[in-house]
């Protein structure tokens, strides 16, 4: 397997050259230079309205259309007509719920998690508007020693499915717990259970916002209907892309666009108004960057898409490097000395490919510390960006037992492939002081 050249990778990020340690990447990553160049080129040279016949508008239209072409690869979707751009994943999912609204009947059931509210709130609100029923797939403790080491289990999801199940809304990765959900297995199990119970139209919506920087999304392999991620967490600008399966566009999704626009069975149904053109064009800088991380694999079967195979190799290298970042951080936080002090990981305690380097913890017991006070030590020292709070996964934090203060939440250190082991060592050094 090809490995990452971190120095070379970092050279693509002007922001990293300052030496500041960016460790709040699950909040937002740094933008790669190719993205920034495209945005400024668009604004400086082709900033006109789309769809006119004059030459600059033709170029501008082509540039904006190239955004969905790139997003197709990152989702492994079938066609750019399955891609919607919006200002945020929260907005895209809210628009999706609005587009599905006319098809929802009283008694329809929505299964949601306690994860980020973006893929939960729109379904809860839709259920409230249409007389639907909301059921929670809760994360449960997985370790006898740490009640905050929680995860979702497929066996807890299946009993929630009934003949009335309409939407199953899950996260591919938790922005708090760091754990990766085996989406393909979950969806297979859901579809099998739904068929056995006579649920005719179960659709699956997957939040990949915390997943996309770390692993390759594959909506085809996963067999999901809706999927969303935010480019600003994947080295791009502040906007989001959503995949809407063509079957759903034909049979489930109604248009929320102006009534006189002929959107056909395309994802434009869910894109009222134009997305930020320069940002959509800017996102086309993400794929070339990811592909530049490793050489293309030598032996790709002729039936396989070479770009997808190349992306696979890039994400394999990213995942391998991220494990090297994760090990010392988790190793420090789970060492007997820290556990005796009251440090508890909120999420999966062990490194491994089932986990990304988003690490959350609290300090409880006689030597309890507020999360905000721990982060304040970092802020006083300067040079490192980490954060505390519930990170909009409010329900997940609120569900934890023994209870935590939801306002104070957890301390979260979230790394990505451009972070270095030396940066993690520096974070651990400051942690030693902050936990005293």
Ligand X SMILES: Cc1ncc(COP(=O)(O)O)c(C=O)c1O
Q: Measure the CA–CA gap between 34 and 346, rounded to whole angstroms.
A: 36
Q: Measure the CA–CA gap between 207 and 244, rounded to whole angstroms.
A: 12
Q: Which is nearer to ligand X, 108 or 114 (CB)?
A: 114
Total of residues contacting ligand X (CB under 6 A):
13
Q: How far is the CB of 341 from ligand X (least distance, A)?
A: 28
Q: Which of 336, 365, 364, 329 is nearest to 350 (CA)?
A: 329
Q: Does 283 bind ligand X (CB under 6 A)?
A: no
Q: Does 265 bind ligand X (CB under 6 A)?
A: no
Q: How far is the CB of 176 from ligand X (least distance, A)?
A: 9
Which of 66, 88, 143, 201: binder of ligand X (CB under 6 A)?
88
Coil, helix or strand at residue 237: coil
Q: Which of 121, 128, 86, 119 is nearest to 270 (CA)?
A: 86
Is the separation of the CB atoms in 385 and 22 below 8 Å?
Answer: yes
Q: Is the dihedral of CA 296, 301, 302, 304 positive or negative?
A: negative
Q: Does 29 bind ligand X (CB under 6 A)?
A: no
Q: Which is nearer to ligand X, 108 or 207 (CB)?
A: 207
Q: Does 240 bind ligand X (CB under 6 A)?
A: yes
User: What are the C-alpha distances in Å from 100 to residues 122, 129, 177, 394?
Assistant: 11, 12, 30, 25
Which of 207, 278, 312, 349: binder of ligand X (CB under 6 A)?
207
User: What are the C-alpha distances in Å from 77 to residues 17, 223, 365?
Assistant: 35, 11, 48
Coil, helix or strand at residue 48: coil
Q: Which is nearer to ligand X, 119 or 266 (CB)?
A: 119
Beta-bridge mates of residue 173: 180
Q: Does 109 bind ligand X (CB under 6 A)?
A: no
Q: How far is the CB of 419 from ligand X (least distance, A)?
A: 18
Which of 209, 287, 362, 434: binder of ligand X (CB under 6 A)?
209
Of the listed pieces 88-96, 161-169, 336-344, 394-402, which binds ligand X according to CB under 6 A?
A: 88-96
User: What are the C-alpha distances in Å from 163 to residues 137, 184, 198?
Assistant: 17, 21, 5
Q: Does 171 bind ligand X (CB under 6 A)?
A: yes
Is the separation of the CB atoms in 112 and 88 below 8 Å?
Answer: no
> Within 13 Å and on the Cβ side, how many CA atoms surround 86?
23
Q: How far is the CB of 306 from ligand X (least distance, A)?
A: 30
Which of 25, 113, 165, 175: binder of ligand X (CB under 6 A)?
175
Q: How far is the CB of 207 from ligand X (least distance, A)?
A: 5
Which of 116, 166, 214, 310: binder of ligand X (CB under 6 A)?
116
Q: How far is the CB of 175 from ligand X (least distance, A)?
A: 3
Which of 4, 64, 96, 118: binder of ligand X (CB under 6 A)?
118
Which of 64, 210, 227, 435: binder of ligand X (CB under 6 A)?
210
Residues lying near ligand X in the complex (CB under 6 A):
26, 88-90, 116, 118, 171, 175, 207, 209-210, 230, 240
């Amino acid at each position: 397997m090809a490995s990452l050249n971190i120095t070379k990778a970092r050279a693509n990020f002007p922001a990293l050259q300052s030496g500041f340690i960016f460790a709040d990447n699950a909040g937002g990553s740094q933008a790669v230079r190719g993205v920034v160049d495209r945005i400024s080129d668009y604004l400086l040279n082709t900033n006109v309205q789309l769809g006119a016949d004059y030459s600059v508008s033709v170029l501008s239209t082509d540039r904006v259309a190239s955004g969905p072409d790139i997003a197709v690869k990152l989702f492994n979707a079938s066609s750019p007509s399955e891609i919607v751009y919006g200002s945020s994943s929260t907005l895209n999912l809210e628009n999706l719920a609005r587009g599905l609204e006319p098809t929802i009947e009283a008694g329809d059931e929505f299964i949601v998690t306690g994860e980020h509210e973006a893929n939960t709130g729109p379904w809860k609100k839709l259920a409230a508007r249409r007389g639907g029923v909301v059921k929670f797939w809760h994360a449960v403790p997985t370790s006898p020693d740490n009640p905050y080491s929680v995860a979702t289990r497929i066996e807890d999801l299946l009993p929630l499915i009934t003949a009335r199940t309409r939407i199953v809304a899950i996260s591919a990765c938790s922005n708090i717990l760091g754990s990766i959900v085996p989406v393909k297995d979950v969806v297979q199990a859901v579809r099998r259970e739904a068929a056995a119970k006579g649920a005719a139209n179960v659709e699956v919506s997957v939040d990949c916002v915390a997943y996309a920087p770390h692993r390759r999304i594959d909506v085809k392999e996963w067999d999901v209907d809706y999927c969303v991620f935010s480019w600003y967490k994947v080295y791009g600008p502040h906007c989001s892309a959503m995949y809407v399966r063509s079957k759903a566009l034909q049979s489930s999704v109604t248009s929320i666009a102006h009534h006189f626009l002929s959107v056909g069975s395309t994802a434009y149904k869910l894109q009222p108004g134009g997305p930020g053109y320069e940002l959509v064009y800017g996102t086309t800088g993400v794929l070339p960057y990811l592909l530049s991380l490793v050489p293309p694999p030598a032996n790709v079967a002729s039936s396989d898409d070479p770009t997808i195979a190349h992306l696979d190799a890039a994400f394999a290298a990213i995942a391998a490097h991220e494990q090297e970042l994760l090990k010392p951080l988790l190793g420090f936080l789970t060492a007997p000395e820290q556990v005796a002090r009251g440090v508890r990981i909120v999420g999966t305690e062990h490194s491994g490919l089932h986990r990304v380097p988003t690490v959350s913890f609290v300090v409880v017991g006689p030597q309890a510390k507020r999360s905000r006070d721990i982060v304040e030590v970092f802020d006083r020292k300067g040079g490192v960006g980490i954060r505390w709070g519930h990170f909009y996964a409010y329900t997940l934090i609120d569900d934890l037992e023994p209870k935590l203060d939801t306002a104070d939440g957890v301390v979260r250190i979230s790394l990505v492939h451009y972070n270095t082991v030396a940066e993690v060592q520096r974070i651990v050094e400051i942690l030693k002081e902050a936990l005293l």
